[in-house]
Amino acid sequence: MAAAPRVPLQGRDLLSVADLSPEEVEGLLARGLALKRGDPPHPITGKSVALLFEKPSLRTRVSFDVAIASMGGHPIYLGAQEVGLGVREPVRDVARVLGRMVDAIVCRTFAQQTLEELARHAPVPVINALSDSEHPCQALADVMTMWERLGRIRGVVVAFVGDGNNCAASLALACASLGAHYRIASPPGYELPRGVVERALALASRTGASFTLLRDPDEAVAGADVVYTDVWTSMGQEAEAAVRRLVFANYRVTPERMGRAAPHALFMHPMPVHYGEEVPPGFLESPWSVAYDQAENRLHIQKAVLEAILAP
């Protein structure tokens, strides 16, 4: 198979999956798969990238750090205590100072507004490494994994079971961009935000995708090609954990529930996992699970994103 060409996103921010056209999303996936097969990335030699993280991270930090270094760049990790976004210094000042010293900012933060303010004031590209609203790099790795395992994205039925959180939002937008059929089952009060629903529906109308909001997880999972779930309590929501365990008690993905999906169905989870809550202990080792492939694919898709934005 011929190597996929790089996607031209030079100098652009990536704050949301909706910042990318359907063609750009597909191009990044093809490029990520080519890089995974061994196609050499275009180097970003001499480029410095700030990894500005307000939240702890395993997969996001390591994948970006390794991707930047392996492409010839220099990652600079800045934790919450070192910068204090909006506390120790105003976000705009951090953006302006970093923008004079580095070539891009990868930011993992609590508020989407922080990313948007960084992007407004930084003279260099800003990449969303997770916010309360979206997790675009995770969603790109997710749909890349689907394409890799199923051989296609268009027409695939993806069932998300659980909280309408940042991962659910970005995955909805990515599926709508690529013509996949997205169903999400959430309890009352935990649905996807209206703005995400409106954007997903608009994209779906152009790509032939469908987008369905449900309450019943079994209805969502029935015949699905992919069953996806995430933790019930995300970082920053720890005070709600006891309530959420009650609310989401019927939204667990079990072997019985997977049995309602298509015979070839994949199970996906962005990790970390709260075993005993959204899935039983050891479920990531089940025959359905491709969660570890998802985790690895973070590295390859982030190489594609960095190449598209930073490679000369």
Number of domains in the chain: 2
What's 192's DSSP letter? Answer: P
DSSP string for residues in 288-306: TB-HHHHHHHHHHHHHHHH
Answer whether residue 30 shows pLDDT above 80. yes
305 is a domain residue: yes
- Whether 8 is in a domain gets the answer no
Per the domain annotation, does 4 fall within a domain? no
Residue 192 falls inside a structural domain? yes
The torsion of the CA quartet 22, 232, 282, 174, rounded to 10 degrees, works out to: 0
Per the domain annotation, does 47 fall within a domain?
A: yes
Whether residues 108 and 205 share a domain: the answer is no
Q: Are 105 and 194 in the same domain? A: no
**According to DSSP H, which parts of the chain are helical?**
22-37, 59-70, 80-83, 91-99, 112-121, 136-150, 166-178, 194-207, 217-221, 241-247, 255-258, 291-310
* Percent share of the chain, pLDDT over 70: 99
Same domain, 25 and 45: yes
Q: What percentage of the chain exceeds 90 in pLDDT? A: 92
Local confidence band at 2 (pLDDT 50, 70, 90 cut-offs)? low
65 and 209 part of one domain = no
Residue 29 lies in a domain: yes
Phi, psi for 86 (deg, rounded to 5) = 75, 0
Residue 95 shares a structural domain with residue 218:
no
Copy the structure tokens of residue 149: 């395992």
Q: What is the pTM of this model?
A: 0.96
- Is residue 6 included in any domain, yes or no? no
Could you report the per-residue pLDDT of 181-232, keeping only the tens digit for each? 999 999 999 999 999 999 999 999 999 999 999 999 999 999 999 999 999 9
Structure tokens at 82: 């070192």
Give tens-digit pLDDT for 132-171: 999 999 999 999 999 999 999 999 999 999 999 999 999 9
pLDDT at 1 over 60: no
Q: List pLDDT tens digits, range 237-260.
A: 788 899 999 999 999 999 999 999
46: exposed, middle or buried (C-beta count within 10 Å: 0-12, 13-18, 19+)?
exposed
121 shares its domain with 38: yes
Tell me the mean pLDDT in the region 85-92: 87
User: Do 193 and 51 lie in a common domain?
Assistant: no
Token duo for residue 121 = 């004031």
Give domain status of residue 186, yes or no.
Answer: yes
Decide: 262 and 223 in contact? Cβ < 8 Å: yes
93 and 193 part of one domain: no
| Domain housing 208 | 138-292
CATH number for position 274: 3.40.50.1370
Cβ atoms 131, 114 nearer than 8 A: yes
**Pair (303, 243) in one structural domain:** no
Q: Rounded to whole angstroms, how far apart are CA atoms 259 and 255?
A: 6
Q: Are residues 181 and 288 in the same domain?
A: yes
Domain match, 55 and 184 both? no
Q: Both 130 and 144 in a single domain?
A: no
